[in-house]
Structure 1
């Protein structure tokens, strides 16, 4: 009996100039996606971040107001490591982000403002690979991003955005979902992996509250493991996987 073959991941499209990454919390992009972002900025592409919350409910030992300010600083430092200098926050409440028109409108506004061809988000499904339950914030934001990519180009949805000077943008060609249990494409992570580790380490306060393991050992082991596992489906090169939705 022959062993079943593992489906190979396709290279991500590279004929684009601007990307917008929209996620729920500080650190969401650093858990596996930052190596791809580093490779894109190295190639001269523009990448901006939009976060729905400031992660203020993420550290049990810090009250939300202090936590929000700290996590914002850590996120900006983290983004800079991989060549991203534009980081915006939508100020939805951490832990109770609601999917609906208000969230879709805020994300559509960000898409109209940044005018990306590629939009990146995090797993919007109920589970991680069918095994671990996802958080409501990830589900709400990921689903809203997929919908807002269309909303951004429709002048009759959220007409108040046009009144604010944000003209419709129908230029989103793909939405790439990181952390998906059904990946279709990948990006070579070799050139960006060290900066991805440094980018995750910028969230040191969060990591130290999360684990007793040495932060660098934790970050390096986690990201290297993800990249090597993905690489088994991408020519045995360390890689970052995405589920790609074309528009």
Structure 2
């Protein structure tokens, strides 16, 4: 293609489905949802929808200067604070080990159990592919948890895959209608981020200890710049409105 040729038109992003009442967000670490989609979650809770967070780890290996037994409880507190900013009251942790989460039946079972407990119509997770697009390599934890969440959405509805869950009183739930993947390089849908953007900044800023270890930039400036740029990047495909983009898999 000539460097002066116009870029191919991008397919517009569709509005996210809105005929649901309960969502379950399953990610690997504290801050994954705040980096990924908190503005959308704020809009959903504003509309009266119920959103629950489940995290595979406590992020205890995420700060080089803090030992895991100190870091884990601190990051859990920051995650609960960040969730509260966008109207999420229930935050659960599965206690897999940060940095070495393994894709497999144990992880699928834990996520399927959470889906059976909370009975969502919408499940949210983070990018499950090897990269963020191009050569920006993803982390093993994100890949494992994202893929296991996509699989567990089906596992939760099949009583014969993990019969021990039924024995524990967790009846099958086949009501998941969509799995929405935040941070995907191949998005299909989006949510208007206008109303929730300011709260998403405060939600990410709740992870102050982690952010201060990550960057020398002023934490609020860092959070606002990152989230605003991401929301504006999706605007070209969503009628010019700042947006949170998702790749949506129907079920």
Q: What is the TM-score with the length of structure 2 in the denominator? A: 0.97
Offset of residue 235 of structure 1? 0.4
Aligned to 2:233: 229
User: For 1:99, what is the secondary structure of its paired residue?
Assistant: coil
Aligned to 2:45: 41
User: For 1:128, what is the secondary structure of its paired residue?
Assistant: coil
Deviating beyond 6 angstroms after TM superposition, the runs of 4 or more aligned structure 1 residues are none
Aligned to 1:12: 16
Count of aligned pairs: 247
Post-superposition CA distance 1:184-205 (Å, at most 9, x none): 0000000000000000000000
- How much is the aligned-residue C-alpha RMSD, in angstroms? 0.7
Offset of residue 130 of structure 1? 2.1
User: For 2:123, what is the secondary structure of its paired residue?
Assistant: strand
Contact 2:192 2:243 in 1 (8 A): yes
Work out which of the residue numbers 24, 27, 36 in structure 2 matches 1:23. 27
Where do 5+ consecutive residues of structure 1 fail to align?
none
**Alpha-carbon distance between aligned partners in 1 of 2:105 and 2:76, rounded to the nearest angstrom:** 25
Q: What is the TM-score with the length of structure 1 in the denominator? A: 0.99
Aligned to 1:106: 110
Where do 5+ consecutive residues of structure 2 fail to align?
none
Work out which of the residue numbers 31, 48, 54 in structure 2 matches 1:50. 54
Contact 1:155 1:168 in 2 (8 A): yes
Query: Which runs of structure 2 are paired with 1:150-189 in the superposition (5 Å)?
Result: 150-189=154-193
Offset of residue 54 of structure 1? 0.1
